[in-house]
Structure 1
Amino acid sequence: MRRYLVGLCTALLLLLGLATSAHADDISATGRGVVRVVTIAMVDDEVVGFGHGSGFVVAPNRIITNAHVVELAKRYPDNVVIGVVPSEGSKSYEGKVIAFDAARDLALIEFTGTRLPTVALYTGPIDEGAAVTALGYPGNVDLATAKSATDYIHPLSPIRSEGVFSGRRVMSGVEVMLHTANIARGNSGGPLLDPCGRVIGVNSAITRGEEGDSSFGFAIADTELLAFLAAAKQNVATVGTPCTSILDRIKQDSDAEAKANADAEATRRDAAAKAQVAHEEALARARDEAERNRENIMALAAVLLVAGALAIGGAGLLEVRGERRWAIWAAAGGGVLLVASAVVFFTRPDGEVVLPVTATPIAAPSVSSSAALGKMVCTVVPGKSRVVSSSIQDVALDWGAAGCMNGRTQYAESGSKWDRVLVPAEEQTVSVLEFDPATRTYTNMRYFLTADQMTAVREIRSQVSLKACSPDESARVALSTQQSAIRAALPAYPNEKIVYSCRATH
């Protein structure tokens, strides 16, 4: 019977087209990992029951949903089949319950046949009044648009609704999150998200609006979800950094760069002003010293002139007294003093000041962009990063000569920096990696793409011929050109920008 049902579903899905491409934002990026969960009850090869809800991917082959969505499959595994319908593609997949908690209303479903993009859980604080978004497959939309049961296994992007977080409550001993995002039957098991697309709860119930009362939604709280996953020994990506939009991150980076440039220019001007003041002060001191030296020399010339005149006058007195020999010596000495006075006077300084040439500081040698730097450990810089779902653990790098990363991946020159575009074969994420040898800064810009976008990018990537490190400069130039074509196919902005600061290891 199970084979019959799976075959029937497969046959139906062969008629389906591709899912609608997601928008280039964080919520749509998370939507890649949101699924519809279908349950079909069979008795004697006849369908006797049909139900559906929502879920989200916590591992490439596992999803979270509400326990009440798959309760019948848990109770009657031989008669109820679980179908996992991705948000894009052309196939659905059979799932099975591997963890079930009726009290928390949570279940973990495993499926095979494909790998789906995972979502991340936000573990930081959530303020009341914060914006939230519900993603899922509300039944009232299906009732309005579905033409047949086939439409329930047709891959479609999930419906989003927005509201605010209204606080935490306890319902039947379980912590829940009250919110105003519109949800309906069919949203059960779908994620409640923060503005960055991180999961903060699992939608499970709604209040009924009666006599004009407003409706509210309830989501199983993040604390309960984490406890359930821990009990099931299921790892999940968690992020605790506050939500910042990529445009805000880019603006902050631009502002920081502008401030750094302004500070550098102000420092340069300040240094130039101080140098000018110091120069003027040194010039004034040199002029004062030169003037004193000139006056001293002129005074010496006057002293020599007076001494010479006295000596000659003394020679005349000695001659009158008949002391001719001493008179000659006195006259000769006086003449010498007069000549010396003239020489000193006419060779006196002219008062012009010449300062000694200041030695120009020798700039520190610049880092060669092609030089090997060896092994490094790189740590995330939170103030410069925008993280949505990726790990922020340290990254080990080994930067070799001519842009060879870790001895196997060739990077292409980009000015004084090096970059490489990585297009994985299975994941739906493209990474643009950049390394700056001068500052030892490593940057990973990640783009969360739809299946159709990944197909297009992989087609371009298949034309890249340089796979390993190469000393051939022309091959690296060709790599740079090919990577530019891949960049042109990417959205205008990445979903994540993770900046690392690297230091040498010994």
Structure 2
Amino acid sequence: MLRLLGAIALFLCAATPARADDISAAGRGVVRIVTIAVVEDEVVGFGHGSGFAVGPNRIVTNAHVVELAARYPGNVVIGVVPSEGDRSFQGRLIAVDPNRDLALIEFSGANLPPLALYTGPVADGELLVSLGYPGNVDLATAQSSADFITPLSPVRSQGNFAGLRSLAGTQVLLHTAGIARGNSGGPLLDRCGRVIGVNSAITRADDGDSGFAFAIANAELAAFLREAGQKVQTVGGGCIGMEERLATDRQADAAEAARAEQAAERAEAARAARIVAAREEAELARENFIAIAAVLLVLGALLVGAAGLLETRGQRRWAIGLGIAGIALMLGAVLVFLLRPAFDPERAEAGVSPPAPVEQGALGPMTCTMLPDRSRVTVSATDDVQIDWGADGCMNQRTQYAEAGDGWERILVPASEQTVSVLAFNPATRTYTNSRYLLSASQMAGARRLRAEVGLKTCAPEGAPRANLATQQAAIRATLPPLPNERLVYRCTPKS
């Protein structure tokens, strides 16, 4: 049996590159499920359907697709054929629910990008997309049996949501996306590429009747996975296009900038008022000194005059005392006048503290919470992110970011996941952004080649290594699609 599978694997060829949109990104986690019945090393039966990844090596499909494998595990081989790559894999059945018509398959040898389940409501008439491997297309295009195990991007079709129904006691979604035999087990997606159901059946279209399809509802799928102990990513937010999200985000940035400008204007106006008050206070103090000097001068002159009058009357003793006192007061007036504060507008202005500068250095440990109204989520978790921002773009005391506009940026190209993340942090607004690009295998290979040229692995306080990092990251960014698939925006606050 293994010799047979090895021989068939020799006919495998490379997958067709997928387009960089949400549906194509989801399609990289869709697989063809092949069942091969073998008796005494001879193939006696062959079937196929579709499936999709809910974990890196876990696949959901319909129970009826793998029915023979469940009944005859020793004679039926399950093949998992990804949409990309150059080989297929042998799977094993680990959970099956005939009532819900769902099954869970595990395989090893590769990691697939898992799809996320959408848990929110679906509106009547909403546009839906089906991905899978319809048998009528295979019959029309396949040249040999090897074509059924050749990695190939799934076929997409679209239609509309037509309501909830019950099929044999299982909640299903009724829709008009065109599917055929072979689509069984494939995902039914919303416009953002999130799973809302598992295609399982079609209605008969006799005598010109319109064709409809049934997909097992996500509530049933979630219950099945929970009972099987399989974790899956769920997303509950509505679907919004990236262009629309970026447009609303720019509006939010503009509004925030306007608020900051208004606050700065208010602060400057308050500072100007304080400067005027400081100038008036300084001028008043100067005038007070002059007034005191004038009073002392007048009093001294009066005493000197009184001393002269007493001298003419022969009261020399009193005349001398009053004369000395008058002269002292006049000298005091001169001293007070000389000590009067000089009126210096610049000195008065310097006494008013300018607005505190925005912190641009180390901010330390912070907790970053996602802002739903500024984010677009299709497959990622939305948990808080913990960061530690140091001086000169040092993140978490180990990763160097490069200067980019008003903030700092680092492009992350992982070795195993098919995702490139552009991470950005703005210390002024304490905004942390993760723009995620869900790429094809060939696109990831190109990004990894460029990533290998980045030599800066640790934090660098010097400017030259950061400038070189910025140049190398610009080369990676040039290979990315115009828009990301996801944009997660966080607001960060210091840890208490």
- Tell me the TM-score normalised to structure 1 length: 0.80
Q: CA deviation at 1:172?
A: 0.8
Match of 1:365 in 2: 356
1:225 aligns with 2:221: yes
1:471 aligns with 2:470: no
Match of 2:4 in 1: 5
User: Structure 1 CA distance, aligned partners of 2:406 and 2:261?
Assistant: 22
Q: CA deviation at 1:263?
A: 5.8
Match of 2:489 in 1: 499
Matches within 5 A, 1:408-487: 408-487=398-477
**Conserved 8 A contact 2:271-2:354:** no
Secondary structure class of the residue paired with 2:10: helix
Q: CA deviation at 1:63?
A: 0.4
User: Structure 2 CA distance, aligned partners of 1:213 and 1:274?
Assistant: 75
Match of 2:341 in 1: none
Match of 1:285 in 2: none
Q: Deviations over 1:453-486 (max 9, x none)?
A: 0000000000000011122221111111100100
User: Structure 1 CA distance, aligned partners of 2:354 and 2:66?
Assistant: 70
Matches within 5 A, 1:11-26: 11-13=10-12, 16=13, 18-26=14-22
Q: CA deviation at 1:253?
A: 1.3
Q: Deviations over 1:12-45 (max 9, x none)?
A: 22xx1x2111111100110000000000111121
**Aligned counterpart in structure 1 of residue 212 of structure 2, from 216, 219, 222:** 216
Match of 1:243 in 2: 239
Match of 2:59 in 1: 63
Match of 1:202 in 2: 198
**Conserved 8 A contact 1:376-1:503:** yes
Q: Deviations over 1:150-174 (max 9, x none)?
A: 1111111100110111111111110
Match of 2:367 in 1: 377
User: Structure 2 CA distance, aligned partners of 1:110 and 1:10?
Assistant: 19
Structure 1 letter corresponding to 2:363 = L
Secondary structure class of the residue paired with 2:110: coil
1:141 aligns with 2:140: no
Q: CA deviation at 1:255?
A: 2.4
Structure 1 letter corresponding to 2:384 = D
Q: CA deviation at 1:4?
A: 1.6
Q: Deviations over 1:343-364 (max 9, x none)?
A: xxxxxxxxxxxxx999697443
Q: Deviations over 1:373-426 (max 9, x none)?
A: 111111001111111110000011111221111111111111331110000000
User: Structure 2 CA distance, aligned partners of 1:266 and 1:479?
Assistant: 36
User: Structure 1 CA distance, aligned partners of 2:389 and 2:271?
Assistant: 41
**Conserved 8 A contact 1:10-1:92:** yes
**Aligned counterpart in structure 1 of residue 85 of structure 2, from 89, 96, 103:** 89
Q: Deviations over 1:280-304 (max 9, x none)?
A: xx9xxxxxxxxxxxxxxxxxxxxxx
**Aligned counterpart in structure 1 of residue 173 of structure 2, from 168, 173, 177:** 177
User: Structure 2 CA distance, aligned partners of 1:74 and 1:273?
Assistant: 78
Matches within 5 A, 1:323-362: 362=353
**Conserved 8 A contact 1:41-1:48:** yes
Match of 2:389 in 1: 399
Q: CA deviation at 1:270?
A: 9.5
Q: Deviations over 1:409-460 (max 9, x none)?
A: 1111113311100000000000000011111110000000000000000000
Match of 1:341 in 2: none
- Percent identity (aligned): 60
User: Structure 1 CA distance, aligned partners of 2:107 and 2:384?
Assistant: 32
User: Structure 2 CA distance, aligned partners of 1:375 and 1:270?
Assistant: 31
Q: CA deviation at 1:275?
A: 12
Structure 2 letter corresponding to 1:366 = P
User: Structure 1 CA distance, aligned partners of 2:457 and 2:267?
Assistant: 49
Structure 2 letter corresponding to 1:11 = L
Secondary structure class of the residue paired with 2:461: coil
Q: Deviations over 1:310-365 (max 9, x none)?
A: xxxxxxxxxxxxxxxxxxxxxxxxxxxxxxxxxxxxxxxxxxxxxx9996974432
**Conserved 8 A contact 1:98-1:109:** yes
Match of 1:27 in 2: 23
Secondary structure class of the residue paired with 1:392: coil
Residues 95/269 of structure 1: CA separation in 2 closer, same or farther (3 Å cut): same
User: Structure 2 CA distance, aligned partners of 1:194 and 1:459?
Assistant: 33
Q: Deviations over 1:170-213 (max 9, x none)?
A: 11110000000000000000000011000000000000111111
Structure 1 letter corresponding to 2:106 = E
Unaligned runs of 5+ in 1: 283-355
**Aligned counterpart in structure 2 of residue 107 of structure 1, from 103, 106, 109:** 103
Q: CA deviation at 1:367?
A: 3.0
Secondary structure class of the residue paired with 1:140: helix
1:46 aligns with 2:45: no
Secondary structure class of the residue paired with 1:442: strand
Root-mean-square deviation over aligned CA pairs: 2.4
Secondary structure class of the residue paired with 2:206: coil
**Higher gyration radius (CA):** 1
Q: CA deviation at 1:499?
A: 0.4
Match of 1:302 in 2: none
Q: Deviations over 1:122-176 (max 9, x none)?
A: 0011111111100000001111111111111111110011011111111111000
User: Structure 2 CA distance, aligned partners of 1:152 and 1:274?
Assistant: 75
User: Structure 2 CA distance, aligned partners of 1:464 and 1:264?
Assistant: 37
1:162 aligns with 2:162: no
**Conserved 8 A contact 2:362-2:391:** yes
Match of 2:183 in 1: 187
Q: CA deviation at 1:262?
A: 5.3
User: Structure 2 CA distance, aligned partners of 1:156 and 1:90?
Assistant: 10
**Conserved 8 A contact 1:180-1:217:** yes
**Conserved 8 A contact 1:366-1:438:** no
User: Structure 1 CA distance, aligned partners of 2:10 and 2:254?
Assistant: 59
